[in-house]
Amino acid sequence: MQDNILLEDALLLVEQNFYFLHVGEFFAELSKQEDFSTKELSIKREFEDLKSYSFNPNIIEEVLKDAFGKREITLFEYFVEFNSFRGICMAMVEALRLDSPFRDYMMTKLGDRYEDFFDIVSFVRNVLSHNIHADIRLNEKDFSGTLKRIRRMKRDTHILFSFNYAIDLPEIGSPSLGYGFVCEIDFEKLKAGMPFLSVISHWELMMLSELCFNLVMAFRATLFKR
């Protein structure tokens, strides 16, 4: 019973973070197109027992002014994306650690790619949970545990994970027959200090996050068919 609750919480967290990613991207793009720093920026959050917290309008104004007119990624956009990536991968790892129908579904759906998928989402979760560098550089503890796991299982440390929606998850539907992505990581070659985005690209993180969400959606659809 407890595992069922934990699984539902983990799957819901994957979904919620993916929704946050999309809505956050919308507001990030809107803040580039419209100067919201001219609006009334005093915001107060009300809590129980008549307690409240007032947010600093000067900080809000500074972030909004910085975003307006920019073409490159903004501070708000960066935190929306990378907190979403971290939350999605963290929740997926926790869901897959449980002995559950979801893990059975994932093992069946991904087949011999299951362990590679688990290693990739674990790696992303580790990096984004431990990172304190602005440019996201690897720490040895981000990948050492995964590398030991791969060696212990006598698997190839050079992972090449590919996914095509039309072939691998046709029940979700895809915008084109070729829609999908490839993620390649050689865990044997990872070194402390390497830029994270040179190992897995920004676009691949988006596609990986979308895949986590779609796998949860596809699993939930199987429950309705029972």
pLDDT at 226: 58
Nearest Cα to Cα of residue 10 among 95, 123, 136: 95
Place of tokens 């979403």: 84
pLDDT at 31 over 80: yes
Q: How many CB atoms lie within 10 A of CB 22?
A: 12
The mean of the pLDDT values for the chain is 93
pLDDT at 225: 67
| Residues 107-153 pLDDT 10s | 999 999 999 999 999 999 999 998 767 779 999 999 999 999 999 99
**DSSP of the chain:** -HHHHHHHHHHHHHHHHHHHHHHHHHHHHHHHHS-GGGS---EEEE-GGG-EEEE-HHHHHHHHHHHTT--S--HHHHHHHHHHHHHHHHHHHHHHTS-SHHHHHHHHHHGGGHHHHHHHHHHHHHHHHH---TT-B--HHHHHHHHHHHHHTT--SEEEEEEEHHHH-TTT--SSTT-EEEEEEEGGG--TT-BHHHHS-HHHHHHHHHHHHHHHHHHHHHHHH-
Share of the chain above pLDDT 70, in %: 98
pLDDT at 1: 63
pLDDT at 205: 97
205 within 8 A of 86, measured Cβ to Cβ: no
115 within 8 A of 153, measured Cβ to Cβ: yes
| Residues 45-104 pLDDT 10s | 999 888 999 999 999 999 999 999 999 999 999 999 999 999 999 999 999 999 999 999
pTM value? 0.93
Q: Which amino acid is at 187?
A: F
In this prediction, residue 34 has a pLDDT band, given cuts at 50, 70 and 90, of: very high
Instruction: Label residues 139-164 b or e (16+ Cβ within 10 Å = b).
Output: beebbeebbeebeeeeeeeebebebe
Compute the distance between CA of residue 30 and CA of residue 40 in angstroms, rounded to an integer: 17
pLDDT at 97: 95
Place of tokens 């027959």: 177
